[in-house]
C-alpha cells in the first residue's frame, strides 16, 4: 500500500504525462500549419506575388509629368519593396514561432520519456492500460470506470487503481526515475 504523498505524486505524474502528450500533438499540428504558411510566404517572395495599389503609394496623377527620384526607384518599385519587406517580416515571425514550438516539443518529449519508459517497458495488461487511459488521459471518474470495466463494482476499481499506481511506483524505482 502506498502512502498518501507517494500516491498523489504518482497520480500527478500520470496526469502530467498525458497532458504533455496532448500538448505535443497540438504543437506538432501547429508546426505543420506554420510550415505550410512558411512555404506559401517563400513562394510569394520568390515570385514577387504582391500587389501595389497605385492610389495608395503614388502622388496624384499628373499626366504630362515624368517621375524622378534620387535613387532611381519609382514609387511603384518602392511600394513593391515595402510589400516584400512585410512578407519577409512575416516569414521571420513564422520561422521564430516554428523554432519555439519545436523547442517546446523537445522539452516535453524529454519530460514524457521518463514515464513512457515505465508505461511501455514492463508490458502492462490491456486492462491496466485501459484503466490508465480512462482515468488519466480521458479524465474519467473511478465510478465511471467501475461501471465500464468492472460491472459497477466500485471497490474493485479503487483497488485496481491502487495496484496500478503501486506497479508504476515500483517500476519507477526499478528504472531509477525521480
Q: Assign 64 a pLDDT band (cuts: 50, 70, 90).
A: very low
Q: Is residue 64 part of a domain?
A: no
pLDDT tens readout for residues 138-155: 999 999 999 999 999 999
Residues 98 and 147 in one domain: no
The DSSP code sequence of 49-104 is: -----HHHHSPPP-TT-----TTS--HHHHHHHHHHHHHHHHHHHHHHHHHHHHHH
**What is the spatial distance between Cα 134 and Cα 21, in angstroms, rounded to a whole number?**
15
Residues 167 and 107 in one domain: no
Q: Assign 104 a pLDDT band (cuts: 50, 70, 90).
A: very high
Residues 33 and 100 in one domain: yes
Q: What is the pLDDT of residue 71?
A: 75
Task: Report the pLDDT averaged over residues 112-121.
Answer: 88
Q: Assign 61 a pLDDT band (cuts: 50, 70, 90).
A: low
Asked whether residue 56 carries a pLDDT value surpassing 80, the answer given is no
Domain extent, residue 163, equals 122-177
Q: Is residue 151 part of a domain?
A: yes
Number of residues assigned to the chain: 178
Residue carrying C-alpha cell 503609394 = 57
Residues 101 and 28 in one domain: yes
**What is the spatial distance between Cα 146 and Cα 158, in angstroms, rounded to a whole number?**
8
Amino acid at each position: 500500500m502506498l502512502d498518501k504523498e507517494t500516491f498523489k505524486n504518482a497520480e500527478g505524474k500520470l496526469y502530467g504525462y498525458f497532458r504533455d502528450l496532448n500538448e505535443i500533438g497540438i504543437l506538432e499540428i501547429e508546426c505543420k500549419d506554420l510550415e505550410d504558411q512558411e512555404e506559401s510566404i517563400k513562394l510569394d517572395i520568390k515570385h514577387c506575388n504582391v500587389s501595389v495599389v497605385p492610389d495608395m503609394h503614388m502622388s496624384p496623377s499628373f499626366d504630362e509629368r515624368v517621375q524622378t527620384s534620387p535613387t532611381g526607384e519609382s514609387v511603384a518599385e518602392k511600394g513593391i519593396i515595402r510589400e516584400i519587406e512585410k512578407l519577409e517580416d512575416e516569414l521571420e515571425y513564422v520561422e521564430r514561432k516554428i523554432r519555439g514550438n519545436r523547442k517546446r516539443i523537445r522539452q516535453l518529449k524529454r519530460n514524457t520519456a521518463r514515464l513512457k519508459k515505465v508505461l511501455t517497458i514492463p508490458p502492462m495488461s490491456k486492462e491496466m492500460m485501459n484503466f490508465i487511459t480512462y482515468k488519466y488521459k480521458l479524465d474519467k471518474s473511478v465510478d465511471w470506470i467501475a461501471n465500464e470495466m468492472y460491472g459497477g463494482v466500485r471497490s474493485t476499481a479503487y483497488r485496481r487503481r491502487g495496484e496500478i499506481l503501486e506497479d508504476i511506483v515500483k517500476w519507477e524505482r526499478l528504472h531509477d526515475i525521480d
